[in-house]
Amino acid sequence: MRAFDSTTDPALRSWLDVAPGSDFPIQNLPFGVFVHGARDVAPRLGVAIGDKILDLSAVAHAGLLDDAMPEAFAVFAAPSLNRLLARGRAPWRAVRERLSALLSAGNRELHDAGVSERAIVERAGARYLLPFEVADYVDFYSSREHATNLGKILRPDTEPLLPNWKWIPIGYHGRAGTVVISDTPIVRPNGQRKAPDATEPAFGPTRMLDFELELGFVTGNGPALGSPLGVAASRDVIFGAVIVNDWSARDIQGWEYVPLGPFLGKSFATSVSPWVVTLDALAPFRVEGPAQSPPALEYLRAAEPRNYDIALAVELVSAKMDAKSAQTISRTNARGLYWSVAQQLAHLASNGATVRAGDLCATGTISGSEPGTYGSMIELTWRGARPLQLANGEMRAFLEDGDAVTMRASCDRAGAAHIGFGSVSGRILPAP
Ligand code: MN
């Protein structure tokens, strides 16, 4: 495997100023949908570079993307990535190479076409919409450490990993319609919950509101209904990734999840970060995953490095804290995930189910093996038994009204340009 290609070469520079350490150097070029109040109110597709956004509808309108992809304007005038997602791997690659060239030091095409003023806007002042219409949303359970912790917490007297876990990338179908963009307020859900010593459940606000630190992979179209997608081909169907906060109400989940799995304890909201980082940008950060024992069944077996080295962090700000004193409560990394995204997607499609442009496949909570590396409050506080003490003295077993959770993700490797995902945030509002 070549570590770098023409778009990820660490020597590449843009004619736009990019601050050292920016999440969005020219090697990244993530896609998002933004509204810029100072210009107009129409949402537009763009790529982030440094502290700027390149407005792709303006670039396509000038005809500068036509050589990369036929009818580019029809794709980039839409305020969503779905038309691009539907085009497939080769056009994705051609567009990335073209955008990389247009933004590279020495390239004057945007200036010569007279669109550089109009096509480049400040990221400050932009707000974001969902970058794609979510087709189906599937949440997996691919961190062995997370699955083991949940097993110990929920079923303390039994083997924590259920017998199927090392054979099947476990997942469930979530609710696509309640996937929301970062900064959408999260209303504390009401639901049925039953205390262990109670004889009957009660309906009311969750008392165990939690976050789940995840990555979500966004797809193009797979083969027709009835045709499986092999593990070798599955990576070609994945466009890129976002950070996912899969908000969870543990008391509602605990009462409802047997026998059919998570339902209303999960479906009230799932937050995603605004910028979709492409698999092409992530290619320098591919790493071997942990050894799989027993070996995966043939249809899940991939010979290539199957994971991504992506550092992740969770910050909490309570209503009593100012935003600058955000407290980091977890740091972990996606490189240790047991099941890879390629294996998950191959499994999802192994029965002939379709993969559609805009599907979101989330990894499941990403946890490491040490307490400070857990990706949820239920693990960090061991279901409230070991509450977190915040720097200002407040205690937390689960999230309280007014708490804001921010998750960040970034990639670093010797010799490679630093790239980042930005962040996904949400603040808890009281139950209605
Ligand atoms: Mn989840």
Q: Which amino acid is at 172?
A: Y
Q: What separation in Å is there between the alpha carbon of 212 and the centre of ligand 1?
A: 6
- For residue 323, the model assigns a pLDDT of 86
Among 310, 302, 305, 309, which Cα is nearest to 347's?
302
CB atoms within 10 A of CB 411: 23
Q: Is 146 a catalytic residue?
A: yes
Q: What separation in Å is there between the alpha carbon of 245 and the centre of ligand 1?
A: 8
- For residue 371, the model assigns a pLDDT of 87
SS (H, E, C) the chain: CCCCCCCCCCCCCECCCCCCCCCCCCCCCCEEEEEECCCCCCCEEEEEECCEEEEHHHHHHCCCCCCCCCCHHHHHCCCCCHHHHHHCHHHHHHHHHHHHHHHECCCCHHHHCCCHHHHEEECCCEEEECCCCCCCEEEECCCHHHHHHHHHHHCCCCCCCCCCCCCCCCEEECCHHHEEECCCCEECCEEEECCCCCCCCEEEECCCEECEEEEEEEECCCCCCCCCCCHHHHHHHEEEEEEEECCEEHHHHHHHCCCCCCCHHHHCCEEECCCEEEHHHHHHHEECCCCCCCCCCHHHCCCCCCEECCEEEEEEECCCCCHHHCEEEEEEEHHHCCCCHHHHHHHHCCCCCCCCCCCEEECCCCCCCCHHHCCEHHHHCCCCCCCEECCCCCEECCCCCCCEEEEEEEECCCCCCCEEEEEEEEEEECCC
| Residue 18 pLDDT class (50, 70, 90 cuts) | very high
- On average, the pLDDT of the chain sits at 96
CA distance 155 to 12: 52
pLDDT digits (tens, 9 = 90+) for 325-350: 899 999 999 999 999 999 999 999 99
Residue 2 has pLDDT above 60, yes or no: no
- For residue 154, the model assigns a pLDDT of 87
Q: What separation in Å is there between the alpha carbon of 258 and the centre of ligand 1?
A: 16
At CA 416, angle to CA 415 and CA 418, rounded to 5? 130
CA distance 432 to 429: 9
Mean pLDDT check: name the lowest of 298-307, 311-320, 372-381.
298-307
> Stretch 71-83: mean pLDDT, rounded?
95
Q: Which residues lie near ion ligand 1 (Cβ < 5 Å)?
A: 139, 212, 246
Going by their DSSP bridges, the two strands 360-362 and 137-140 should be labelled as: parallel
Residue 404 has pLDDT above 80, yes or no: yes
- For residue 304, the model assigns a pLDDT of 83
pLDDT digits (tens, 9 = 90+) for 193-227: 999 899 999 999 999 999 999 999 999 999 999 99
- For residue 1, the model assigns a pLDDT of 47
pLDDT digits (tens, 9 = 90+) for 367-400: 999 989 999 999 999 999 999 999 999 999 999 9
- For residue 40, the model assigns a pLDDT of 66
In the chain the domains, ranked by start, together with CATH numbers, are 31-129 (2.30.30.230), 137-429 (3.90.850.10)
Q: What separation in Å is there between the alpha carbon of 178 and the centre of ligand 1?
A: 14
Question: Which listed residue (36, 61, 111, 146) is catalytic?
Answer: 146
Q: What separation in Å is there between the alpha carbon of 365 and the centre of ligand 1?
A: 5
Neighbouring-strand partners of residue 129: 33
Q: What separation in Å is there between the alpha carbon of 112 and the centre of ligand 1?
A: 48
Q: What separation in Å is there between the alpha carbon of 170 and the centre of ligand 1?
A: 11
